[in-house]
Amino acid sequence: MNVTCGPSPEISDEIFWSEFSGKIERLRIPFSGGIALTHRCNLHCLHCYAREKPNPQDNSAPELSTGQWKKIIDDLREAGCLYLLLTGGEPLLRDDFADLYSYTKRKGLLITLFTNGTLITGQMADLFRELPPWQIEISLYGADAATHDRITGVPGSFTRSLQGVEELAARKIKFTLKSILMTLNAHEFPAIEKIAQSYGVDFRMDSSIFPSLAGDRSVLDLRVAPEQAIANEFADPKMVGKWRDFLNRFHAAAEGEDLYACSAGTTTFHIDPYGHLYPCLMVRKLRYSLLHGTFQQGWNEVLSGINETKSDANFKCRGCRQKLLCGFCPGFFELENNSDQIPSAYLCALGKLRFERVNQEISGG
């Protein structure tokens, strides 16, 4: 008999997690997902994908009630969800946020929270100290108030976000700062990263701005040139190794005819504030209303359709060597080109540049 109780910080136990990942994929268990508690926000960020309600009928639809969310959380637990993202809009705008957060924690789910930080009061930070989240990610769009507030559209938001950060730091609660790279803030990225360093926390950037869920493409004007995005990304010397590890680990995922080779609808899901269940935030073509049935019904009867979606014979990404480096995402393609089989030219350019950069570094060039 071998009795073990090995502490497993994230995915350090590679053998267990590698085998377990295969198992939950075969069994199609919704191990990880996200719920947008609200699309309301106290900021009005220029690049936000949820600036307008994605579906016109949602304009009159009420957000799910506390009781409805708790029922869904019960169902998620039963279905095998361990990692749950709470996002928005700004999730802390919900009057019942503390109640829903505590309820989810006590059910044994590991919570990641996406927030702009402006509503993290001392009382809220005390809650996070008592019931720690798995991760908190706070968005910071500039290194100073002028840039950040210009992007959020709300004067004073930079100061309030940093006040929230201070509340967390004072209680030694782990968090990450993150930012979206765009034309308005690209020049400030080293300084934003220094703010993260001053708190001793991780910093994460993303350059993939995509159209709003309601179809507004004007936000794409905020994208920086692919060359600049890659230069910013590889300013971190660890990125080459990270991409190389990623390639080694997931190279098989680039093969095959399945269009959705990712985890969407297989082990991950997304639920919007009105109770619509989707395979992920981006993929909107499969949808099930949890007002009319249980999570398990939607997962089994509707989202399972994701596995039946094959790529066209002339799909450009088939066999592409850069597919794992571009941020390949048919949901992204759909939002950008109204077809999940027409690649995003922007992502293609990023993939090509990353491929060159990684190969160049590996060959010592």
Partner 1 sequence: MNLDRKFQKKETIASRCIADEFFLVPICSQPSDMQKIFILNSPADFIWQHLDGEHTLDELITAVVEQFEVDQEQARSDTVEFIGQLLEQNLLELEGAS
User: Binding residues for partner 1, how many (CB under 8 A)?
Assistant: 33
d(CA 337, CA 341): 9
Using the rule CB under 8 A, which residue among 37, 109, 181, 282 binds partner 1? 109
Binding span for partner 1 by CB under 8 A among 100-108, 146-154, 210-218, 335-343: 100-108
Q: Name which position in 40, 70, 71, 129 contacts partner 1 (CB under 8 A).
A: 129
Task: Pick the binder of partner 1 from 157, 174, 215, 310 (CB under 8 A).
Answer: 174
- Asked whether position 110 contacts partner 1 by CB under 8 A, the answer is yes
Among the listed residues 61, 70, 74, 82, the single contact to partner 1 using CB under 8 A: 82
CA 299 to CA 295: how far, in whole Å? 6
Exposure pattern of 44-66 as b/e (b: 16+ CB <10 Å)?
ebbbbbbbbbbeeebeeeebbee
- Binder among 40, 52, 119, 134 for partner 1 (CB under 8 A): 134
Tokens of residue 169, six digits:
């730091």
Distance CA 96, CA 66 (A): 7
Q: Which is nearer to partner 1, 54 or 80 (CB)?
A: 80
Q: How far is the CB of 65 from partner 1 (least distance, A)?
A: 24
How far is it, in rounded angstroms, from Cα 310 to Cα 330? 11
Nearer to partner 1 by C-beta: 16 or 250? 16
CA distance 115 to 163: 13
Q: Phi-psi bin for 212: left (phi > 0), alpha (psi -120 to 50), beta?
A: beta
Q: ∠ at Cα 295 (289, 301), nearest 5°?
A: 75
Query: Least CB distance from residue 23 to partner 1, whole Å?
Result: 5
- Answer for the pair 197, 189: CB distance below 8 angstroms, yes or no: no
Q: Does position 199 bind partner 1 by CB under 8 A? A: no
d(CA 292, CA 276): 10
Stretch (H or E) spanning 25: helix 14-27
* Near partner 1 in 4-43, by CB under 8 A: 4-10, 13, 16, 20, 23-24, 27, 29, 31
Closer residue to partner 1 in complex, CB, 107/244 = 107
The enclosing H or E element of 22 equals: helix 14-27
CB of 278 to partner 1, least distance (A): 22
Segment contacting partner 1 (CB under 8 A): 102-110, 187-195, 288-296, 315-323? 102-110
Binds partner 1 by CB under 8 A, chosen from 54, 61, 66, 80: 80
Find out whether 125 and 173 touch, Cβ atoms under 8 Å: yes
Residues at the interface with partner 1 (CB under 8 A): 1-10, 13, 16, 20, 23-24, 27, 29, 31, 77, 80, 82, 105-110, 129-132, 134, 174
